[in-house]
Chain A
Amino acid sequence: MPSINVNGVEIEIDEDGFIVDPDQWNEDVAKYFAQVEGINELTDDHWKVINYLRDYYKQFQIAPMIRKLCKETGCSLKYIYELFPTGPAKGACKLAGLPKPTGCV
Chain B
Amino acid sequence: MSVIETSRLYPNFFKEVVSKACTLSSRDNFYQCLSCGMCSAGCPYNGVHDHADPRKFIRMLTLGMREEVLNSTFIWACTQCGRCTMDCPMGVEVLTLVRTVRGNFGLRAPGFLQDVVDAQIRTGNQMEVTNEEYLETLEWMEEELQTEVGDPNAKIPIDKEGADFLFLWDPREIKYYPQDIQSIAKIMWYVGANWTCSSRWWDATHYALFNGNDEESRIITQRYADEVKRLKVKELVVTECGHATHANKWGLKVWLSPEDGNYPVKSIIEKYVEWFEAGLLKVDKTKNPEPITFHDPCNTVRKQGLVNEPRYVLNKTVMEFREMWPNGKYNYCCGGGGGLLAMGKDIYPYRMAKGKLKADQIKATGCKLVACPCHNCFDQLTDIFKYYEMDCKPIHLHHLISHALILEEKP
Interface residues in chain A, defined as those with a beta carbon under 8 Å from any beta carbon in chain B? 1, 14-16, 62-63, 65-68, 77, 87-90, 101-105
Report the separation of the CA atoms of residues A89 and B170 in the bound assembly, to the nearest whole angstrom: 15
Which of A1, A63, A67, A77 has its CB near the most chain B CB atoms (within 10 A)? A67
Tell whether, in the assembled complex, residue B116 and residue A67 are in contact, meaning their CB atoms are under 8 Å apart: no
Report the separation of the CA atoms of residues A92 and B175 in the bound assembly, to the nearest whole angstrom: 14
Tell whether, in the assembled complex, residue A87 and residue B176 are in contact, meaning their CB atoms are under 8 Å apart: yes
Contacts beyond the supplied A102-B116, A103-B119, A103-B342: 20 A-B pairs with Cβ under 8 Å:
A1-B345, A14-B345, A15-B344, A62-B128, A65-B136, A66-B175, A67-B133, A77-B144, A77-B179, A88-B176, A89-B175, A101-B175, A102-B112, A102-B115, A102-B126, A102-B127, A104-B172, A104-B341, A104-B342, A105-B175
Tell whether, in the assembled complex, residue A103 and residue B136 are in contact, meaning their CB atoms are under 8 Å apart: no
B residues 322-371 in Cβ contact with A at 8 Å: 341-342, 344-345, 348
Report the separation of the CA atoms of residues A1 and B348 in the bound assembly, to the nearest whole angstrom: 11
Binds A, one of B17-25, B311-319, B374-382: B374-382
What is the chain A residue whose CB lies nearest that of B139?
Answer: A67
Cβ contact of A15, chosen from B140, B172, B345, B375, cutoff 8 A: B345
B residues 117-132 in Cβ contact with A at 8 Å: 119, 126-129
Cβ contact of A103, chosen from B126, B140, B345, B383, cutoff 8 A: B126
Q: Does B178 contact A (CB under 8 A)?
A: yes
Mark B296-308 against chain A: 1 for CB-CB distance below 8 A, else 0.
0000000000000
Q: Does B196 contact A (CB under 8 A)?
A: no
Report the separation of the CA atoms of residues A89 and B205 in the bound assembly, to the nearest whole angstrom: 18
Q: Given A1-B345, A67-B133, A104–B178 Cβ distance below 8 Å?
A: no
Tell whether, in the assembled complex, residue A65 and residue B171 are in contact, meaning their CB atoms are under 8 Å apart: no
What is the chain A residue whose CB lies nearest that of B111?
Answer: A102
Q: Does B177 contact A (CB under 8 A)?
A: yes
**Nearest-Cβ distance from residue B117 to partner chain A, whole angstroms:** 10
Q: Does B137 contact A (CB under 8 A)?
A: yes
Report the separation of the CA atoms of residues A103 and B133 in the bound assembly, to the nearest whole angstrom: 17
